[in-house]
Amino acid sequence: MITVKLLGGAKKSFVSDIIKINENDLTIQKLLNILLEKKPKNTPDLDLNNILVAVNGVESSALNGVQTKLKTNDVVSIIPIIHGGTNSRIQFKISSSLIELFKIKIDHNFGDKFLEDLRKKFPNLVLQGISSDYILSKTHAKKIIAISLGSKKNNTLLSKKLETDIIMRFAGTTQISYALERIGIKRTKIFFIIAIGRKLSLNALYQHIQQFLNSKPFSADNYDLLKNFFKITNQHLDAITTKTPLEDLLTEKAAILT
């Protein structure tokens, strides 16, 4: 028997947060097909293009994707990624956590002090700064942050603080000093602030830094830089059958850190 845990908005599709599937020889893809068949007709659709799937707490991209084979007593968690905010704000929800990304303009070199000041002014938010070179896309950021949030829930953070776990997973390392030095905001004038917290606090932060924000946060092409940094070859990418092979390899590297 497989236990499926439905988190956040996924519960609305099934009017339940736990479903038991008593079938053998399942993959994640087959399980998702079964769930769609079981979904009541009068409930909201489950958007399979905007979910994260974890097996026993491990995100599926770190396993074998939707072809991951499931075993008896496995616990499969389905976590919806919900888009939100306006066109000028990069805001999304993972389970019950609201996250927003803010990209600081190139002509402002704030560095560490800027982040420290924000943490003092907004103590109710989890805040981290990461060089914009190391965030490939919105979905890349969502997947890495989802891994960190899952690690916090399972008490398996790489560090005592969620914000430190996040930067370590973006850097693909268990060494805090290396992560801060290589992808932190010391070495760059262009960086993202990752903020996690309640809507009112995120709105207050947005108003506070709005004048410094870049209106085109993902316009830069950092694909080759990330390939070189993580020593990913074209052969590695060719072995991945998904539509976003580099993004999924980066997610895998983040997920397997212990």
Residue extents of the structural domains in the chain: 2-81, 85-255
Q: 3-class SS at 1?
A: coil
| Predicted local distance difference test score (pLDDT) of residue 151 | 94
Question: Is 5 or 58 the better-scoring residue by pLDDT?
Answer: 5
CB atoms within 10 A of CB 164: 17
Structural tokens at position 120 = 């003092």
* CATH architecture of the domain covering 2-81: Roll (3.10)
Class of CATH domain 85-255: alpha beta
Distance in angstroms between the alpha carbons of the first and the last residue of the chain: 28
Question: Is 216 or 179 the better-scoring residue by pLDDT?
Answer: 179
Cβ–Cβ < 8 Å for 53, 28: yes
User: What residue ranges in 121-258 does DSSP mark as E strands?
Assistant: 126-131, 191-196
Going by pLDDT thresholds of 50, 70 and 90, the confidence category of residue 84 is: very low
With 0.75 as the threshold, say if the pTM is over it: no
Task: Mention every residue, 6+ apart, whose C-beta is less than 8 A from residue 231.
Answer: none
Q: Which residues pair with 193 in a beta bridge?
A: 102, 129
Q: In which element (H, E) is residue 126 found?
A: strand 126-131
| Predicted local distance difference test score (pLDDT) of residue 85 | 44
Going by pLDDT thresholds of 50, 70 and 90, the confidence category of residue 78 is: confident
Hey, CA dihedral for 47, 239, 179, 228, is it positive or negative? negative
Mean pLDDT of the chain: 87
d(CA 85, CA 223): 26
pLDDT greater than 80 at residue 86: no
- Determine which of 14-28, 74-88, 99-113, 238-252 has the lowest per-residue pLDDT on average: 74-88
pLDDT digits 0-9 by tens, 97-126:
999 999 987 555 566 788 899 999 999 999
Longest dimension (CA), the chain: 58
